[in-house]
Amino acid sequence: MEKSKKIILTGDRPTGRLHVGHYVGSLKRRVELQNSGEFDQIFIMIADAQALTDNADNPEKVRQNIIEVALDYLSCGLDPAKSTLFIQSQIPELTELTFYYMNLVTVSRLQRNPTVKNEIKLRNFEASIPVGFFAYPISQASDITAFKATTVPVGEDQLPMIEQTREIVRSFNHIYGEVLVEPDVLLPDNKACLRLPGTDGKAKMSKSLNNCIYLSDTQEEVKKKIMSMFTDPNHIRVEDPGCVEGNPVFIYLDAFCRDEHFKTHWPEYQNLDELKAHYTRGGLGDVKVKRFLNQVLQEELEPIRARRKAYEQNIPEVYRILKEGSICAQKAAAATLAEVKAAMKINYFDDEELIQAQAQKFRQQP
């Protein structure tokens, strides 16, 4: 087992364009890790099969968003020369692994998964949960282990999935022998980025909640969304003391703003702590803070938009990148699946010893 290799697997569901929550929660980190040169292999997956588990009746939505997510990846700086970008459904080995891992997980264990519980509520599934959706943590374990990933950079909501994966790995290795690798989760080190709230103040910016600032939003759209953002509801007049905790405008500043931004855009303050202190004291209006946030965010998004524009002019090339990535990912997954099947003793035709031993056994029978 090649334990010493450092391998990343992570990805996103093609259920919409990617937003700034994805960016700070995972995407930005991926690009940094990619460029650090510390990893032997980086696999970035567009999880279309997973997206279909709760969008079975809307395949067109998934199909349309593949290219959107791919464009978001490339525009953030994921580089196909360094990272393998691929589409989940094109790797049948992942489905096969899922089928075998299903035997290692109980229904009650899946029912306990807090993220899945939450998502079931959000989607109003109640008693009509599709089996595929219910089991998606198992399919995620296949995605991670198929590539023998050691590191999975994700947002906080993915913690229960990685825990489930680790349990499956331990259980598999215990029963069948050491084949799979237990992955480590890599969370953002900035607290604000663990789970970026929505512009409406809801706990999570999420494609399904319509409370997102998209990486591909125009300058005008971003400004409009920021200026109408939810803030502290008790901060009515400028003189009133305001609350920065749980205030999404300040959480976004925590996520995006650096001291340099004050030098260029708001030299009245040295840093975010000073700005927060003023807001808390009272005498600082929301509009001013929002204008500053707009400047900070536009600065971060501008190069991303520019790169996107360039790739948008060459869509066939983007599909080619995904096709090549998928071919490469399929080879890696096939190698793991072969090991898995050998360990599970379902590699009948590759096992010459088995065939000879059976032949011997039956020859000896009278």
Q: Which stretch binds ligand ATP (CB under 6 A): 109-117, 125-133, 174-182, 198-206?
A: 198-206
Report in angstroms how near the CB of residue 125 gets to ligand ATP at its nearest. Answer: 13
| Residue 68 CB, nearest approach to ligand ATP (Å) | 12
> Which of the stretches 72-80, 199-207, 227-235, 292-300 binds ligand ATP when contact is defined by CB under 6 A?
199-207
- The answer to whether residues 115 and 157 touch, using CB atoms and an 8 Å cutoff, is yes
Quick check: 154 binds ligand ATP (CB under 6 A)? yes
- How far apart CA 298 and CA 219 sit, in angstroms, is 7
HEC-encoded secondary structure of 62-91 = HHHHHHHHHHHHHHHCCCCCCCEEEEHHHC
Q: How far is the CB of 16 from ligand ATP (least distance, A)?
A: 7
- Residue from 26, 84, 150, 231 that binds ligand ATP (CB under 6 A)? 26
- Report the nearest approach of ligand ATP to the CB of residue 158 (Å): 4
- Residues 250/276, Cβ–Cβ less than 8 Å: yes
- How far apart are the C-alpha atoms of 344 and 340, rounded to whole Å? 6
Binding piece for ligand ATP, criterion CB under 6 A, among 149-157, 178-186, 262-270, 272-280 = 149-157
3-state secondary structure of 344: coil
Q: Is 29 in the site for ligand ATP (CB under 6 A)?
A: no
Minimal distance, residue 25 CB to ligand ATP, in Å: 2
Q: Which of residues 200-239 bind ligand ATP (CB under 6 A)?
A: 204-208
Minimum gap (Å) between residue 363 Cβ and ligand ATP: 57
- Which member of 7, 8, 9, 21 binds ligand ATP (CB under 6 A)? 21
22 touches ligand ATP by CB under 6 A: yes
Query: Count of alpha carbons within 13 Å of 95, Cβ hemisphere only?
Result: 11
**Is 157 an interacting residue with respect to ligand ATP (CB under 6 A)?**
yes
Query: Which residue number places its CB atom closest to ligand ATP?
Result: 25
Residues 48 and 17: their CA atoms lie apart, in Å, by 13
Strand intervals (E) in 115-216: 151-153, 184-186
Instruction: Tell me the HSE value of 240 on the side-chain side, using a 13 A CA sphere.
Output: 11
Compute the least distance from the CB of residue 270 to ligand ATP, in Å: 28
Q: From CA 52, how far away is CA 15, in angstroms rounded?
A: 9
* Nearest by Cα to 56 from 112, 124, 131: 131
Kindly state the greatest CA–CA separation across the chain: 100
Provide CB contacts within 8 A for 45, sequence distance 6+: 9, 10, 11, 12, 86, 87, 88, 143, 329
Write the interaction track for ligand ATP spanning residues 178-197; mark x where CB under 6 A is met and - where it is not. Answer: -----------------xx-
Cβ distance to ligand ATP smaller for residue 211 or 326: 211
- Nearest to ligand ATP of 204, 341 (CB atom): 204
Residue choice 7, 8, 9, 25 for contact with ligand ATP (CB under 6 A) = 25
- 269: its two tokens: 């303050």
Residues 158-177 that bind ligand ATP (CB under 6 A): 158
Could you give the 3-state DSSP secondary structure of residue 42? strand
Under the rule (CB under 6 A), what is the footprint of ligand ATP?
Answer: 12-13, 15, 21-22, 25-26, 154-155, 157-158, 195-196, 204-208
